Amino acid sequence: MLSSFSIWFNSLCLLVFLLCIGGVLSSSDPPSKIGKGYRLISVEETSDGGIVGHLQVKQNNQIYGPDISYLQIFVKHETDDRLRVHITDAEKQRWEVPYNLLPREQPPKLKQTIGRSRKIPISVSEFSGNELIFSYTADPFSFAVKRKSNGQTLFNSSSDQSDPFGQMVFKDQYLEISTKLPKDASLYGLGEITQPHGIKLYPNDPYTLYTTDVSAINLNTDLYGSHPVYMDLRNVDGEANAHGVLLLNSNGMDVFYKGTSLTYKVIGGVFDFYFFAGPTPLAVVDQYTAFVGRPAAMPYWSLGFHQCRWGYHNLSVVEDVVDNYKKAKIPLDVIWNDDDHMDGHKDFTLNPHNYPRPKLLAFLEKIHNIGMKYIVIIDPGIGVNSTYGVYQRGMANDVFIKYEGEPYLAQVWPGAVHFPDFLNPTTISWWGDEIRRFHELVPVDGLWIDMNEASNFCSGLCKIPKGKQCPTGTGPGWICCLDCKNITKTRWDDPPYKINASGLQVPIGFKTIATSAYHYNGVLEYDAHSLYGFSQTIATHKGLQDLEGKRPFILSRSTFVGSGKYAAHWTGDNKGTWEDLKYSISTVLNFGIFGVPMVGSDICGFYPAPTEELCNRWIEVGAFYPFSRDHANYYSPRQELYQWESVAESARNALGMRYKLLPYLYTLNYEAHISGAPIARPLFFSFPNYTQCYDLSTQFLLGSSVMVSPVLEQGKTEVKALFPPGSWYSLFDMAQSIVSKGGQYVTLDAPLHVVNVHLYQNTILPMQQGGLISKEARMTPFSLTVAFPAGADGGQAKGKLFLDDDELPEMKLGNGYSTYVDFYATVNQGAVKVWSNVQESKFALNKGWYIEKISVLGLSGSAQASTLEVDGNPVNDVSKIEFSSSEQNRLNVLEGENKQKSLMVEVKGLELPVGKNFAMSWKMGI
């Protein structure tokens, strides 16, 4: 929902706020090097195969507060490809991301006495694992991480006189550490930020991590999520290696990337580094999600198309939207409600006039019967209202965040609210019970949790005003109407180092929960702030799963490390502009790296209004986001895809292809769930040695082999697309092929209703016939598209297909309700063979799924082929199976190049059960 729509108004509020407290609270430029660092005074091995040491500060100073005198460092190779380096106060427990929220190994307990372990070696020492080597220098202390196979230094915290950064700093509210980087390292990650320069990190752009309700139209600004992880991709002498670096810390931080160095400046917590060895981009995400949590299993229907709008004022409007999608023959699986369904914007309620329950239940029964789903929004803020049952039960259970012993008061859409404390076990139970009660009222199919950064329309310590209504019920709902005073008296509300919050160095409690408020067990909001949305997501996931034991679907705006284990994400309040369309690709690709593969942007933009041409082009991109949803703002004109006939045509084309690709997308969902593999990926995931694609942010891959090359500029009817080396085939017209020698740009025709989508060689792509609802599309016959290198005498191709009962909470084999198929194909001197290997055949056989068509692309030879055999039996002339071949066109044949045509062969009329092994073969004429 819109919470930062009125940019001018929020900016004005911010300026007034800053003036009231004496101007912008920016830190005066500190020295670039703070202190002399630490020296290592002891080191010993631990019983679990790690090493633990102690550090002593070399020289105290007061910049940003006193140094912590003694530190404990713990180092362990936790797996063959994961190294942990944990540094904390040696004598006193410090805040860390709670171990129950993100399960992981505990470091050794702190010692009461320092310096009694054995003496350290004088010079550099090494601690080697299977893939990574940790080394340290004792005085001043620094550490390095190297790749064992080639000796490449991946992280190096040492500071020389010539470096722009200093030694490690560790104070109560200021931690600093840096690493040197080679000039040619390509870095990705550090979000959530709208990056104007594309997916690759750009030197000297600001990277601030602190969850904030700032509209996604704000560039280079800390947004809704905090993901302090980056991937580093390096190509040395034509060989690419990737690794990942996570700083597991929930406190606010600035990360300064200078091209040859990267510096963290963090306002609390500990240094808890995890290094992931890779060496491929896919391996990095695999190792990362093995640690933070594998992405959630998504129900099949969630991969269909979704329609939402803030401003569906009553149920008849929603019914009309569903009917109009059907009339326009545009696929639609899920209809959403923003807060229009609520009674006075209050969570878990229904507006009795605009959404009367009997009529809503009848509507839901109607759409559920055809396989459609319904999702509504909930915000964390619980309205302060003595007649409101959710509030009453929350107060009775003491579930709210506190300030000076009382529930902290804020304002969001219902007016005055309290925020549930999801670090409190009692809150989890209460929240689950409220979800249960609401589901009995309205059988929703998922929940959309918004405003959970947490967003607050006021700042500071507030009271409900006497003698005036708040909110008034007229005018913008985001204007603060509580009586509030600023809180600057504590070091938590006014820390010594000012991160670049909201891109303006605003106070960190601005428009959110006061950072001196506290959670369960006295945990400060200062420390736990960026975990708020994550903790709410976990509680919501548990609440939904406990309902009926079904697979939950949750969409969350605020995310943290590990959120992908529970929820999907959308990129927040974007604008209906060509620039925002372009930015969306980078953000979607970043979230795949963060382990949140189910992600998309509001198609056509959230506000203020897209042009007809832009909406055409946006659905051609958005149809291939992993999460595909059109969503618009209350104040924008209607922009459902049927509002313009031209957009409807583009939607039928693009979403028509998406619905044919649903088996492939669902298999990618399964691969994400078991290995973390992103659904939408940068091209360098499949082509890590091809450096031209390292900073490519205008195209993307679905899985390893389907490439989307959209038009992203106004008035263009062609697109210049990069084709990595190999053979590519148009999915919309398989007779069209592109053979890229060594990689090259090709200009493709792209009239208004056309999006270019290509399939890479060596792939077998499972598809179905599509439909207007995924339930219907899922029961249509399958086809396989086999792509060989064009014109090659020899080649092979592979593909996968995962099928299951998508209502089950777990997505796995071996439960009797799933089937997994490997597809293989070879061509050798004209002999073509396609076959399958099925695991757990029962589920697919019971469903009656079968393969009706196989298309093989890139074959050489003549149009004549010898006898077709299926499962060793010749197919006779009277069979209903049709065998045909046709020439394929090369779109990029250069002058003087071999113009040899390749062939496409189609075999139709098959009835090959998906759940049973098959083998099909024929010989091409030479």
d(CA 687, CA 722) in angstroms, rounded, equals: 12
Cα(800)–Cα(400) distance, rounded to whole angstroms? 47
pLDDT (tens digit per residue) in 112-166: 556 444 555 434 589 999 999 999 999 999 999 999 999 999 999 999 999 999 9
If you average pLDDT over residues 55-66, what whole number do you get? 97
Q: Residue 45 above 80 pLDDT?
A: yes
Q: Which residues contact 648 (CB under 8 A, 6 or more apart)?
A: 328, 330, 641, 642
Predicted confidence at residue 19, as pLDDT, reads 38
Distance of CA 558 to the CA centre of its chain: 11
Is 28's pLDDT higher than 60?
no
pLDDT beyond 50 at 556: yes
Of 73, 262, 268, 85, residue with least CA distance to 171: 268
pLDDT score at 895 = 55
Q: What is the pLDDT of residue 548?
A: 86
Q: Which amino acid is at 257?
A: Y
| 682-925: CATH class | mainly beta
At 925, the amino acid letter reads G
Binned at pLDDT 50, 70 and 90, residue 879 comes out as: confident
Question: Average pLDDT of 400-409?
Answer: 97
pLDDT score recorded for residue 21: 40
Residue 310 confidence (pLDDT) above 80: yes
The angle formed by the CA atoms of residues 914, 920 and 923, to the nearest 5 degrees, is 160
Task: Say what the pLDDT of residue 852 is.
Answer: 98
896: confidence class by pLDDT, cuts 50, 70, 90: low
Residue with tokens 């600023």: 486
Structure tokens at 15: 């300026």
pLDDT on residue 119: 52
In the numeric block, the tokens 């109607």 are attached to 366
Rounded mean pLDDT of 561-577? 97
* Residue 756 host element (H or E): strand 756-760
Residue 53 reports pLDDT greater than 50? yes
Residue 865 pLDDT: 73
Give percent of the chain above pLDDT 70. Answer: 94
pLDDT at 356: 98
pLDDT in tens, 695-738: 999 999 999 999 999 999 999 999 999 999 999 999 999 999 99
| Mean pLDDT of the residues in the chain | 93
Among all residues, which ones are annotated catalytic? Answer: 450, 453, 573
Q: Which of the listed ranges 214-218, 246-250, 866-870 does the model predict with the highest average pLDDT?
A: 246-250
Residue-by-residue DSSP string for 194-252: B-TT-SB--TT-EEEE------TTSBTS--S-BEEEEEEEEEETTEEEEEEEEE---S-
The 3-class SS string of 444-492 reads CCEEEECCCCCCCCCCCEEECCCCCCCCCCCCCCCCCCCEEECCCCCCC
Round to whole Å and give the CA distance between 338 and 602: 13
Instruction: Compute the distance between CA of residue 759 and CA of residue 770 in angstroms, rounded to an integer.
Output: 18
Give me the numbers of helices (H) and strands (E) for the chain, helices first please: 14, 52
Average pLDDT estimate for 447-470: 95
**Is the model's pLDDT at 77 over the cut of 60?**
yes
Q: Among 710, 752, 754, 715, which residue's Cα sits nearest to residue 622?
A: 710
Q: For position 488, what pLDDT does the model report?
A: 75
pLDDT at 122: 38
Task: Give me the mean pLDDT over the 626-648 stretch.
Answer: 96
For residue 300, which of 765, 745, 773, 912 has the smallest C-alpha distance? 773
pLDDT at 190 over 60: yes
pLDDT of res. 877: 67
The mean pLDDT value for 32-47 works out to 94
For the chain, give every residue range classified as CATH 2.60.40.1180: 682-925
Pairwise pLDDT comparison (875 vs 761), residue with the higher score: 761
Distance CA 856, CA 798 (A): 12
Using an 8 Å Cβ cutoff, are 72 and 88 in contact?
yes
Other CB atoms closer than 10 Å to residue 611's CB: what's the count?
A: 15
- As a whole number of angstroms, the distance between CA 226 and CA 200 comes to 17
In tens, the pLDDT along 528-550 reads 999 999 999 999 999 999 998 99
Q: If pLDDT is split at 50, 70 and 90, which confidence band does 612 have?
A: very high
pLDDT at residue 23, rounded to an integer: 38
- Per-residue confidence (pLDDT) for residue 13, from 0 to 100: 47
**CA angle, 737 as apex, 734 and 738 as ends, to 5°?**
150
Question: What per-residue confidence (pLDDT) applies to 866?
Answer: 79
Q: 300-668: which CATH number, 3.40.50.1170, 3.10.450.50, 3.40.50.10090, 3.20.20.80?
A: 3.20.20.80
Asked if 765 and 704 count as a contact pair (C-beta separation under 8 A), the reply is no
Q: Which residue has the tokens 């639609």?
A: 332
Outline which parts of the chain fall under CATH 3.20.20.80. 300-668
Query: Is the predicted pLDDT of residue 339 greater than 70, yes or no?
Result: yes
Q: Are 119 and 125 spatial neighbours (Cβ–Cβ below 8 Å)?
A: no
The residue type found at 239 is: E
Asked whether the predicted pLDDT for residue 615 surpasses 60, the reply is yes
Q: Which residues pair with 745 in a beta bridge?
A: 722
One of 3.40.640.10, 2.60.40.1760, 3.30.1180.20, 3.30.1330.10 is the CATH number of 37-281, namely: 2.60.40.1760
Rounded CA gap, 573 and 729, in Å? Answer: 35
Local confidence band at 828 (pLDDT 50, 70, 90 cut-offs): very high
Give the pLDDT mean for 229-256: 97
* 271-276 and 305-309 strand pairing: unpaired
Residues of the chain with CATH 2.60.40.1760: 37-281
